[in-house]
Structure 1
């Protein structure tokens, strides 16, 4: 089977990957005018249903057997934080369910329980369902994974991760991760409604059917995802790839444009539109999107971070320092930028500056619980009552308070 050139988006780690440049992650696409407001007639062709076609599919349903396990592991009189820790032990410890990561198939909560493995979305289905049964506030959230570039400055990996979050009180909440040893972008989390999470489930299984060559079933599943969440740029992008596989250029272009219309940071759709226009001989339109890619690099701190790391490996310490300082100027609260600067100054023999940069990285991490660092922990607590992030007239500034 020849896989379509379009890039699909799956909401779980290492499966929501696409080798295409993307634009406007941190700023609006002011330099990209797609001149598109939607087409009512084409919209009806795509979202052509009045009800959920798969009401029998319940990603958050858990059996009495699962409920009994939760009852034995978690006591109702436990404090909520203790209940959560006991639940995580049940899910992941060797004397519990010992859930393992498997990227191949998206499961419902019940399927994960039976298989004892799943991708991030699958395991979060089981976690959210069990947590809610145990009286713990739990919701899905997506977080952007740090992008990577190659030596030539081309974006080669872009992915999005899904985990769960909930509140213990007005200022205190938690984040539960199934695969926590990953590099996430700071402050990019978005909490989802259950309808949005259900939509992502159908989007994922639709992509899986497309990969297997079942284009018609894939279309039906992703149409259902759009019925559940018509504002999902992910679903619009993926249905564009499905229409491309089915040989419908009109709905292919329409769907990709809808993805960008719903979110002008709809990264994969930008690349897919460029490929679509290039394939159809509309080179001027394709170049418009290529220029947007260049603009993105100029405004993305992680691009300069990647550039600085490459320069450090090449022992071009001046370029490494310049690149990393540019990254810091664009995003002051990313500890890895300061850690990289510390390595640069150490390589230059400037030990005092190296130590200062490492201390800055540690201070940002330890004094603000919202700052994410990869770790082996399945849970971290976020306390918003104390933060180094302060609003100011000039935007957000760092305030290191004693």
Structure 2
């Protein structure tokens, strides 16, 4: 089966949020792997600076001041600010997986994914005088489908602590871990601290993936190049660069950066994309060896079966799609997306009874209000048929 995998920040979804673990090899000179001449016009793309991505305006400062006014205890200040961010009555924030926006745009658009929410919260908490750090959460491989691509998602969250003042030291700071994906609270995944610079690279990488899906290759190259200049060891960005090269028939260059991503942290998406290049260049035996290895690593991952089901659904192979979605549910019964995928499949097959059944099951497991409302609207439309 041919996959066109691409990393997306992820849960933060989107196209790349980064789920890299400990680096094994350092990339000293990313410029050696760029192909500027192949993407004329990329220098005309305006890339947001780090200051612009994390900038606050007066409305955001007022929001912080309002929620921390007259709260002297640093731990209570953290709780009040975080509660204000989560409180829909204050900001009415909606979770949108591909909303890759700056702190300011996230605040005013009131829609975000975990990466943009984390960036916004970092900026707000920093202004409030708190110590804030990003954490890369080691979630299982998780894919979504968009524009014919399989998008690999990573996940990050925040650690917020009282800031030590010149005359005050907190022996036990008692900070908070702030996570914008409620599913993470059901399973405790390991995490590691990452730099603000790395998060900026993830943001650029997500933007690159967005443009790649839209086939705006000059903009995609501009953003993924910026991601790798900011953080040369972000393996997911090398994968996205490889996908970009492959879509521009630069197979040798794609193969090179896929191997580079693998050398950094044994990146599985890079391995799968490398297998795809091997198939395209007649090296079927090497491709099959990679895919067999990945299969042994992925069979117990429900999101892998979900991705395969989505690909079968795209090709109108309905029974095969159903088998994959059912296997995903067998492995994890709490993901509303799995039930919705079955509902879509049965709808395409003309089975409206099964469609409604799985829509109701999806609604029952929905976490966010907008997902629950979306499923109810679809159920209402079905009952009118």
Q: Structure 1 length normalisation: TM-score?
A: 0.61
User: In structure 2, the residue corresponding to 1:213 is in which secondary structure?
Assistant: coil
Report the Cα offset of residue 72 of structure 1. 1.9
Which position in structure 1 is the counterpart of 2:247?
A: 245
Does the 8 Å contact 2:21/2:265 carry over to 1? no
Note if 1:125 corresponds to 2:127. no
Report the Cα offset of residue 182 of structure 1. 4.0
Report the Cα offset of residue 165 of structure 1. 1.4
Report the Cα offset of residue 262 of structure 1. 1.1
In 2, Cα distance between the equivalents of 1:109 and 1:216? 25
Which position in structure 2 is the counterpart of 1:313?
A: none
Which position in structure 2 is the counterpart of 1:203?
A: 205
Note if 1:84 corresponds to 2:78. yes
Which position in structure 2 is the counterpart of 1:7?
A: 5
In 2, Cα distance between the equivalents of 1:101 and 1:192? 23
User: In structure 2, the residue corresponding to 1:167 is in which secondary structure?
Assistant: strand
In 2, Cα distance between the equivalents of 1:28 and 1:121? 21
Which position in structure 1 is the counterpart of 2:274?
A: 273
Does the 8 Å contact 1:42/1:251 carry over to 2? no
CA RMSD of aligned residues (A): 4.0
Does the 8 Å contact 1:105/1:208 carry over to 2? no
Larger proportion of helix: 2
Which position in structure 2 is the counterpart of 1:319?
A: none
Does the 8 Å contact 2:12/2:97 carry over to 1? yes
Q: 1:228 to 1:114 in 2, by over 3 A?
A: same
Out of 175-184 and 96-105, give the one that drifted further. 175-184
The equivalences for 1:166-245 within 5 A come to: 166-168=160-162, 172-182=174-184, 186-245=188-247
Structure 1 gap segments, 5+ residues each:
19-24, 30-35, 150-155, 307-323, 325-335, 337-374, 377-402
In 2, Cα distance between the equivalents of 1:242 and 1:177? 31
In 1, Cα distance between the equivalents of 2:8 and 2:34? 24
Q: 1:164 to 1:39 in 2, by over 3 A?
A: closer
Q: Structure 2 length normalisation: TM-score?
A: 0.63
In 2, Cα distance between the equivalents of 1:75 and 1:39? 47
Does the 8 Å contact 2:12/2:156 carry over to 1? no
Does the 8 Å contact 1:237/1:269 carry over to 2? yes
Does the 8 Å contact 2:228/2:238 carry over to 1? yes
